[in-house]
Amino acid sequence: MLKGIDPVLSPELLKIMAEMGHDDTLVLADANFTAMSLGVGKPIVRLPGVGMLRAVQAVTSLLPLAADVAHPVACMQVGGTEAPYLSGLQREVVAHLQTHLPAGTGVEAVERYAFYDQVSIAYAIVVTGELQPWGNFILHKGVISEALVA
């Protein structure tokens, strides 16, 4: 254990987050996500029993979101719906993210197969214990500046 670090963040996940560079992406996936087939060659970390909101809270406690893209966060569009529809879980996560999103940026709902395409270029995948279908997010890492370190 380390002081000031959310205990949900395992040593393996902390290492991955520290290794990521600016604009690398981290997938936060629900328990049903096809991480093993989509994540071949990528680090895959499991957070069993941890829901999506809790995982996002832990990750965003240390990971800055990118300010140089219009949508530093993507969520998987709920099947059978049209954007901008968000599930209850997605609305909860987005509400939390509002305090972490850089000014002028937002969250984008991405169609399932387009979301999978984005996963193929992600740095790593975190599989949570979230059981809500379509509960998947992609976070773009931002820059750590002197202002954030102080």
Is this model's pTM higher than 0.85 or not?
yes
Give tens-digit pLDDT for 121-137: 999 999 999 999 999 99
Q: Is the separation of the CB atoms in 30 and 130 below 8 Å? A: yes
Residue 50 has, within 13 A of its CA and on its CB side, a CA count of: 21
Which residues are tagged catalytic? 22
pLDDT at 150 over 70: no
**Adjacency order of strands within the sheet including 137-140:** 44-47, 124-128, 25-29, 137-140, 73-76, 107-110
